[in-house]
Structure 1
Amino acid sequence: MSHDGVATRPGRSAVMRSVAFLTAGALALPALAGCSDPDPAGKPLAGQDIAPAARADLADGGTLRWAVDAVPETLNTFQSDADATTTRIAQATLPSMFRLDANGRPARNADYLESAKTVATEPRQVVLYKLNQQAVWSDGREIGAADFAAQWRALSGKDSAYWTARNAGYDRIEKIERGANDLEVRVTFARTYADWRSLFSPLYPKEVMGTPDSFNDGARRKLKVSAGPFAVKKVDRKADQVRLTRNPRWWGRPARLEEIVLRAVPRDRRAAELAAGELDLADVDPAAARRIAVAAPRPKPPTAGASAGATQLMGPDRPAPLTPAQQRDRKRFRGVEMRKSLEPSFTQLALNGGDDGPLNDERVRRAVARALDREELAKLVLSPLGLPAEPVGSHLALSGQAAYADNSGAIGGPDTAEAQALLADAGWVPGGPVKEKKKGEKGEKAAGGEADKDEKSAKDKDKGKDKDKKSEDESKGKGKDKDSDAKDSGSGSDTYIVGEDGKSGDDGKREQLAQDGRQYGGNQLPQGGAPGAYAPQGTAAPAGAAARPLAKDGKALTLRFVVPAGEGSQTLRTVADRIGLMLRRVGIRTEVTKVPDESYFKDHIASGQYDLALYSWPSSPYPATDARPVYAKPVPAADGSLNVEQNYTRIGTDQVDQLFDQAAGTLDESESRSLIRKADSRIWASVGSIPLYQRPELTAARTSVANAGAFGFGTPVYEDMGFLKKDFKPAATASAG
């Protein structure tokens, strides 16, 4: 789980949503594309950007200095505290039977497998693996059935002494045997398993998986035996780095690099270290990406499908004269360039429907969904980066992956009138009534408070005092994006409102707000609104202006919107601001509360202390396995609590669970994809979460680094990474004219 800009994104090891009230099960769903239409999976919105080069053009040797978020607590990807660096190390040092191609689809890894296929389905499914004859561990022992069996026993879930984070798929295996020879492994399943290709990637040696002690502790700080192009030489916690060196027993294409050093570098320091020549490769935030791109625009067009905003990151064809700061950056970042793609993960708006709050009502959740313009939100984040700004249409796959289909039609597009009708049907009435607050009681930023202000402002106007008041209705005069909430002095929260001109607020904030607006496509206004944004009472509000606040049973319709407070999460806060503005237009108010990054997920998302939240999920090529716990229907636990697994919106249905089970239990790949797409349509209909946009992947790299950068869907090929030879000259490209 992650929220944008905070380095807690999980890999698969951690895992890895009309006016009439319609239940998800009764909803009439749109017909799924597929029978005679083109494949709805489509293509990835953005390809890899890794500066590809032939191995012959790369120098032999060198050390690649690669920034990571942290030195991992464990090198065992199957433990709960594994992180993205754990996965990166495993990819470089351990066998994977299947790796992901540029479309995010599993492909046989020929370095380890000659073949792998289902050879029997009755009475049990049997998969036969034929291993590469040269595949050996770094101690010289052949990779074989004993390693497969040890990993199965450790991850099957039958022995609680193993501290495993997941056992999906391994719990379906009945037995593992040696085949006709030492290079064959027969895996027999007790229950048919469609996602069998997800297993044994990575594969650990039996020395790690063989006993609970070796599993729990043996591979946390060191990996004595490996079988990849690189091996773990040292995990140095004092220096905050992990050093990988060439594996002398590697039988595949020799690694071009001598070493890879993964060093923990805070994101706010990476640009400076790149400029100082202390890093070769680093993921950076949008602000740093913009500085580097403007300083050193790349001589290539933007990613296919990108919007006109691409020049904002890649550099215009005819750049304007550089400012003094940009001139300094050009000198600092000489030899550094930006590589960009879209990550195999997406940011979503989560709606907590698990308590007795307003979002427990499906009509209110559907109203929130109809109030959102997801295309506008995608453009807000991605267009300034020169990346394709298309909303994500599925909870379970991304464009280009086999199971993808745009099922967002299950809730419909943005429609203010429909959203307001849904809210009215749910009993939410414009303006009140709202219970009176007792004298001295802390104010609640709610519809009642706003309505009280309107009434008081009207009375003051009659007395000639209206110029000193800022009532809700009067603030509508300038229309779209000119609203502002009054911040409740007793709430203890920080509230952000997105505006158009960035002219309000104190002088100390104005320039920063303008910069944020230029960066993200919209300016932020502090409380107070914009000068001149008020009209005489009774003036009709233009289209898109805020609607009157809503209330029901004496309670205002105000949703708690929790966002992370860290410097790297500015994008999320900007998106939250814009969502708040969209919801105001249908009468829903939000309180945006910033919380520390370290407590954002644990203390708010996982514990259900929110109404609305933004965070990201990785998109797996095996959704029937990896996505099921994210959308499974919560069930009561033995102690009376609610077991939500990873469904932190607490919204699920029996029908969705059944579709996941059916998809995982069929070996007909077409049928499995169809079942996944049906499950996604019903997840959309239940409106537990709303996918917004695919996360940007922004990587700064030395221009001499090849075959590394923004990998998109594809698994990195570590043996092909390297530095271009000093005498390398790129091939001439044909002119368009």
Structure 2
Amino acid sequence: MSQVEAPRGRTCSRRLRSVALLTSGVLALPALAACSSSDDESKARPPAQDIAPAGRDATADGGTVRWAVDSVPATLNAFQADADATTARIADAVLPALFTVDERGRPQRNPDYLESAEVVEREPKQVVLYKLNQQAVWSDGREIGAPDFLAQWRALSGKDSAFWTARNAGYERIDRVERGSSDLEVKVTFSKPYADWRSLFTPLYPKEVTATPAAFNERARTALAATAGPFRVQKVDAGAKSTTLVRNPRWWGQRAKLESLVLAAVPRDERVAALAKGTLDVAEIDPSGAERIAYAAKDAGRGGKPVAHGPGADTTPSAALRSWALAHGSDESLAESARATRERTAEARQKYAEEQSALRAFRVRKSLEPAYTQLAMNGENGPLADERVRRAVARALDREELAETVLAPLGLPADPPGSHLALAGQPLYKDSSGALGKQSTQEAQGLLADAGWTPGGARQKPEPAEAGAGRGPSGSASPSGGREGAKGAAAQDGAKEDGGERGDRAATPSARASGAASDDGLYIVGDGKPATDARLRDRAPGAVHVLAPAPAAALHSLALERQARAVADGQDAAAAGGPHRGDGVAGAYAPRGSAAPAPAGGAVGKDGKALSLRFVLPSGPGSQVLRSVGDKIARMLQRVGIRTEIVKVDDESYFKDHVASGDYDLALYSWPSSAYPATDARPIYAKPKPASDGSLLVEQNYTRVGSDYIDQLFDQAAGELNEDAARDLMRRADARIWAAAGSIPLYQRPELVAVRSSLANVGAFGFKTPAHQHIGYKKAQVNGEGKQ
């Protein structure tokens, strides 16, 4: 599927830690308790792989597969900042991966390289002992061993700035790397505990690449001194826009079935035509391409005649008759033009029919990709700096509808992701979206009202009346004078009066300065702001704080605040002290009868300014799905009174010039899931820090929304060696991320791969790391449809 994937700091194992693809991807807590176990279990099944599996005895030796990628690799060094998805695919095929990822997104020891790897000491320091496969050798014949581990640690530890590394996560925690009883045993001692130690040394480079800055920074960009996988790099051809991998004769594992694998850089919108021409055998495609291939299968039973699609398919009978009449009419100039048009249409139809005929040799393999598309909200400044507005945006979204829009037509499961840190099927996965709440127009409007954005706020306030005129609570002139006039003006303006007769019922200092409760249990301080627990607790000794019954919006905000803290810390939401809905269900709801009014035919506003958000989307030919989702989101926001200004920009500038630089309010892009979320997800949600030059250091947190507590939870999880305890910390962090409402996961991305039907063991891999040595042509077809 064509979409935008957010840039990552480096590329390690397949896509789970990938860098960018640009392929044009309030605290409102009703029932903060997470889903029931049965709900979690029903939604936690991993998506099935679709790779046409076949045993090695059913696949032939030989042949070449031409596989579409997005680019010629900028570098072959996966630890450099400009490493891309093609770099990752090459690394998977030619370099050691000590741990791969299984179909459930879990790291698994790779026996081709490791006999064992385990934590052998926890105190006083964590020690991991690796025992390497005795047959494992580099392509130059040297055994893989401790010198390679030592050189890679020194290059990536961050202690030597001469090495241009993108990230040092995990390697900076290593205290020393030592040889064991032989070079095939490696002892790694950590200065502080590291739960994601399995993420290290994958891919593993030979010491010739990592020993010196010159080799690491420059030479490894275009060539590798040695490799150690089922394939090796034969040539990177920038002119031909391809990278050729061939069998590694020194590979000790199961021999690669294919003789060669060509990674061809083909733009997404040109891949279907390339498949039809026979210049590609495998290509990830978008839904429109998948639809064409599906139509091609239907066309097979029609004698080669395409069904009702393709060039001219939308021509009505009357239009066709008119075209024929013009082409055969007496007006020669009109006839000539009409004949030329008909000839072009006929040629286009013929070309389309030929392509459809060729596309019958392909099948679309589909699954859910280990990545999700999110709505990102820039919380650095503007209206979205107010968390209540972000939560209102989130509560306005029908995530189920958005997921179904993208996935249901493809026959794929359309459950919106319930976690930022894991996807269904992974052990960490638990639906924590309850920390934000489901779609609710009423709740979204209440949050906006609490933030001061009201239906009448977009209108300019009238000039103050002359002395003696009656005024309403806000100070605006009342046409009939006094309080009744204020009520009439408020009703005329479409606004709802907050808190009833709060001006007449102001609490006395002696009775309520200490925070005594009213019937609703909550008050506002005399300065008009909610009397949160912290404000009452921290007031200056002896200070007089006049309190009055809180308006519905203030009640709403305080209840949500209390319940968000409760749910993120694993407590029961109902015990958090917040109001309840009229039906008795615990949650973040204002008291009965106090809902904010619906926008009366327009945008909500504040101080005469309408609430409008700048929604930036990519404009490339492969981003139709994102734009369709963006349009739906805009309509959903309009229903609660939020306007959107949709701005379409070039794919090339979308991330760098808009998302990464913060030039947006709303944006859509994707993040890959990781087997190591404590390490890989931390920079995505880390609280931005001010730099010495006054700028903001955001790492990969392009929403600019974070908190110290979320950072602490990530740090604790990264150092927790007990897997159950680490998982609990990550789930608590996820609940906090949901409550902060900086990013809202919408749907797991579809993985659609067109594969020549004669190929086996390749297609939509889902979570699982591809085993390139098993990809091959079926024996009965290697000399038929298969390409040699």
With normalisation by structure 1, the TM-score equals: 0.77
| Alpha-carbon shift at residue 62 of structure 1 (Å) | 0.5
Do the aligned partners of 1:205 and 1:225 also contact (CA within 8 Å) in 2? yes
Do the aligned partners of 1:93 and 1:228 also contact (CA within 8 Å) in 2? yes
Equivalent residue for 2:198? 197
Which of residues 553, 569, 578 is equivalent to 2:607?
553
Matches within 5 A, 1:348-367: 348-355=374-381, 357-367=382-392
| Alpha-carbon shift at residue 644 of structure 1 (Å) | 1.0
Q: 1:202 to 1:420 in 2, by over 3 A?
A: same
Larger Rg: 2
Which of residues 650, 655, 669 is equivalent to 2:704?
650
What is the identity, as a one-letter code, of the residue corresponding to 1:88?
Answer: R
- 254-263 or 179-188: bigger deviation: 179-188
| Alpha-carbon shift at residue 322 of structure 1 (Å) | 2.9
Partner SS state of residue 429, structure 1: coil
What is the identity, as a one-letter code, of the residue corresponding to 2:452?
Answer: G
Summarize deviations over 1:585-615 as a string: whole Å, max 9, x none.
0000000000111111111111111110000
Distance, in Å, in 1 between the alignment partners of 2:613 and 2:206 is: 50
Distance, in Å, in 2 between the alignment partners of 1:417 and 1:206 is: 61
Q: 1:628 to 1:390 in 2, by over 3 A?
A: same
| Alpha-carbon shift at residue 548 of structure 1 (Å) | 2.5
Distance, in Å, in 2 between the alignment partners of 1:616 and 1:54 is: 34
| Alpha-carbon shift at residue 431 of structure 1 (Å) | 4.0
What is the identity, as a one-letter code, of the residue corresponding to 2:730?
Answer: I
Equivalent residue for 1:582? 636
Do the aligned partners of 1:350 and 1:613 also contact (CA within 8 Å) in 2? yes
Equivalent residue for 1:443? none
Matches within 5 A, 1:220-299: 220-296=221-297
Matches within 5 A, 1:393-412: 393-412=418-437
Which of residues 729, 740, 751 is equivalent to 1:675?
729
Partner SS state of residue 244, structure 2: strand
Summarize deviations over 1:19-60 as a string: whole Å, max 9, x none.
xxx669xx89834579x8797696445211111111111111
Partner SS state of residue 737, structure 2: helix
Equivalent residue for 1:440? none
| Alpha-carbon shift at residue 4 of structure 1 (Å) | 5.1
Which of residues 25, 30, 35 is equivalent to 2:32?
30
Distance, in Å, in 2 between the alignment partners of 1:627 and 1:185 is: 28
Equivalent residue for 1:390? 415
- Alignment length (residue pairs): 594
Matches within 5 A, 1:434-449: 434=459
Do the aligned partners of 2:63 and 2:777 also contact (CA within 8 Å) in 1? yes
Do the aligned partners of 2:44 and 2:429 also contact (CA within 8 Å) in 1? no
Residue 627 of structure 1 pairs with residue 628 of structure 2 = no
Do the aligned partners of 1:565 and 1:596 also contact (CA within 8 Å) in 2? yes
Summarize deviations over 1:511-533 as a string: whole Å, max 9, x none.
xxxxxxxxxxxxxxxxxxxxxxx
Q: 1:274 to 1:137 in 2, by over 3 A?
A: same
Residue 166 of structure 1 pairs with residue 167 of structure 2 = yes
Matches within 5 A, 1:95-110: 95-110=96-111
Distance, in Å, in 1 between the alignment partners of 2:669 and 2:723 is: 30
What is the identity, as a one-letter code, of the residue corresponding to 1:30?
Answer: L
Partner SS state of residue 219, structure 1: helix
Q: 1:59 to 1:673 in 2, by over 3 A?
A: same
Equivalent residue for 1:372? 397
| Alpha-carbon shift at residue 89 of structure 1 (Å) | 0.2
Distance, in Å, in 2 between the alignment partners of 1:297 and 1:396 is: 40
Distance, in Å, in 2 between the alignment partners of 1:100 and 1:297 is: 37
Do the aligned partners of 1:291 and 1:329 also contact (CA within 8 Å) in 2? no
| Alpha-carbon shift at residue 640 of structure 1 (Å) | 2.1
Equivalent residue for 1:490? none
Distance, in Å, in 1 between the alignment partners of 2:202 and 2:42 is: 24
Equivalent residue for 2:86? 85
What is the identity, as a one-letter code, of the residue corresponding to 1:342?
Answer: L
Distance, in Å, in 2 between the alignment partners of 1:597 and 1:239 is: 23
Equivalent residue for 1:138? 139
Matches within 5 A, 1:591-602: 591-602=645-656
Equivalent residue for 1:323? 308
Partner SS state of residue 174, structure 1: strand
Do the aligned partners of 2:4 and 2:669 also contact (CA within 8 Å) in 1? no
Equivalent residue for 1:456? none
Q: Unmatched 5+ residue regions in structure 2?
A: 12-16, 20-25, 311-351, 462-493, 495-596, 784-788
Q: 1:59 to 1:144 in 2, by over 3 A?
A: same
Equivalent residue for 2:621? 567
Equivalent residue for 1:62? 63
| Alpha-carbon shift at residue 143 of structure 1 (Å) | 0.4
Distance, in Å, in 1 between the alignment partners of 2:441 and 2:309 is: 46
What is the identity, as a one-letter code, of the residue corresponding to 1:352?
Answer: N
Do the aligned partners of 1:546 and 1:586 also contact (CA within 8 Å) in 2? no
| Alpha-carbon shift at residue 629 of structure 1 (Å) | 0.5
Equivalent residue for 2:151? 150
| Alpha-carbon shift at residue 429 of structure 1 (Å) | 1.7
Summarize deviations over 1:141-175 as a string: whole Å, max 9, x none.
01001100111110101111111001000000000
Equivalent residue for 1:308? none
Which of residues 338, 346, 361 is equivalent to 1:335?
361
Equivalent residue for 1:638? 692
Q: 1:364 to 1:8 in 2, by over 3 A?
A: closer
What is the identity, as a one-letter code, of the residue corresponding to 1:668?
Answer: N
What is the identity, as a one-letter code, of the residue corresponding to 1:570?
Answer: Q
Matches within 5 A, 1:467-486: none
Do the aligned partners of 2:615 and 2:666 also contact (CA within 8 Å) in 1? yes
Partner SS state of residue 221, structure 2: coil
Equivalent residue for 1:216? 217
Distance, in Å, in 2 between the alignment partners of 1:673 and 1:395 is: 13
Residue 5 of structure 1 pairs with residue 31 of structure 2 = no
Q: 1:71 to 1:692 in 2, by over 3 A?
A: same
Do the aligned partners of 2:43 and 2:415 also contact (CA within 8 Å) in 1? no
Equivalent residue for 1:610? 664
Percent identity (aligned): 64
Summarize deviations over 1:413-449 as a string: whole Å, max 9, x none.
110011111111111121444459xxxxxxxxxxxxx
Partner SS state of residue 149, structure 2: helix
Partner SS state of residue 342, structure 1: strand
Partner SS state of residue 340, structure 1: strand
Equivalent residue for 2:370? 344
Distance, in Å, in 2 between the alignment partners of 1:568 and 1:58 is: 34
What is the identity, as a one-letter code, of the residue corresponding to 2:3?
Answer: G
Matches within 5 A, 1:295-306: 295-296=296-297
With normalisation by structure 2, the TM-score equals: 0.72
Equivalent residue for 1:484? none
Distance, in Å, in 1 between the alignment partners of 2:125 and 2:622 is: 50
Equivalent residue for 1:735? none
Distance, in Å, in 1 between the alignment partners of 2:754 and 2:306 is: 23
Do the aligned partners of 1:41 and 1:404 also contact (CA within 8 Å) in 2? no
Do the aligned partners of 1:229 and 1:254 also contact (CA within 8 Å) in 2? yes
Distance, in Å, in 2 between the alignment partners of 1:433 and 1:582 is: 19
The CA RMSD measured in Å over matched residues stands at 2.6
Distance, in Å, in 2 between the alignment partners of 1:695 and 1:235 is: 30
What is the identity, as a one-letter code, of the residue corresponding to 2:359?
Answer: F
| Alpha-carbon shift at residue 294 of structure 1 (Å) | 2.4
Distance, in Å, in 1 between the alignment partners of 2:630 and 2:2 is: 12
Equivalent residue for 2:491? none
Distance, in Å, in 1 between the alignment partners of 2:5 and 2:449 is: 41
Partner SS state of residue 119, structure 2: strand
What is the identity, as a one-letter code, of the residue corresponding to 1:46?
Answer: P
Which of residues 713, 716, 726 is equivalent to 2:770?
716
